[in-house]
A and B are shown apart, each in its own frame.
Chain A
Amino acid sequence: DIVTTQSPDSLAASLGERATINCKSSQSVFSTTTNKNYLAWYQQKPGHPPKLLIYWASTRESGVPDRFSGSWSGTDFTLTISSLQAEDVAVYYCQQYYRTPYNFGQGTKLEIK
């Protein structure tokens, strides 16, 4: 199985500050057939299902603010929120969909400092 491990488990940042969440996959999730990384990021608020933010490691889902961005280097992936807003308080998950079982990271809880 491909395991995805997030860091940190929790993060507190000030409004307007940059927040960075990391995700490491135990194996490559890059397909040479499609030339894409099979890695997604989700945001989950209490009482709601996860919401897709980023797919193919760096493509923003329609309607997602451009302060959210995804990047990678090898098997290390990063979700960056460029200027933290109050509504960004949530738990964030990475997920690999390169092969089943589609594993999620353990989650990173983002709070306002």
Chain B
Amino acid sequence: QEQLQQSGPGLVNPSQTLSLTCAISGDSVSSSSAAWNWIRQSPSRGLEWLGRTYYRSKWNNDYAVSVKSRITISPDTSKNQFSLQLDSVTPEDTGVYFCARSKLGITVNWYFDLWGRGTLVSVSS
């Protein structure tokens, strides 16, 4: 059964790094027909796509401009999972973080068909 299982701390101190992991079941992080995304949700920003990683001949990453200087999304092929690192967090980064899959077809643009349950992350001292 296809599933995404999220893990990581729910509280991060300001200026520190937010780190979350998404373990994949029923699919492969190295699949050439899927991309692995992080999306967050907050009352002020709504649903916000943060970025993705995917493999097509080589590993590729795309990031939202709003977080591009602070974000890293990386695959871990040995554990079939991918992770999010967001540096120098502020209270504005508080929200529910989701991992999600988007399939890849002729183009690399696809809808999100599989979601993790979400992790509430609070940035506070």
Contact = CB atoms under 8 A, between A and B. Distances in A.
Q: Do A and B come from one complex?
A: yes
B50 to A, nearest CB: 9
**Band of interface residues on B:** 20 to 34
B46 to A, nearest CB: 5
Contacts, number: 56
Interface of A: 31, 33-34, 38, 40, 42, 48-52, 55, 61, 93, 95, 97-104, 106-107
A92 to B, nearest CB: 12
B107 A34 contact: yes
A27 B82 CA distance: 32
Interface string B46-88: 1111000000000000101100000000000000000000000
Given A38-B109, A49-B118, A100 B46 contact: no
A91 to B, nearest CB: 10
Interface string B97-125: 01010100111011111011110000000
B98 A49 contact: yes
A107 B46 contact: yes
16 contacts: A31-B107, A38-B109, A40-B111, A48-B118, A49-B115, A49-B118, A50-B47, A50-B115, A52-B113, A55-B111, A61-B113, A95-B47, A97-B110, A98-B109, A103-B49, A104-B48
B111 A97 contact: yes
A33 B105 CA distance: 12
A99 B62 CA distance: 11
A101 B47 contact: no
Given A40-B111, A48-B117, A104-B48, 14 more contacts: A34-B105, A49-B98, A49-B116, A49-B117, A50-B98, A51-B115, A52-B111, A52-B112, A52-B113, A55-B111, A55-B113, A97-B110, A98-B109, A100-B64
B64 A101 contact: yes
A102 to B, nearest CB: 4
A103 B39 CA distance: 10
Contacts of A42: 112
Contacts of B115: 49-51
A93 B111 contact: no
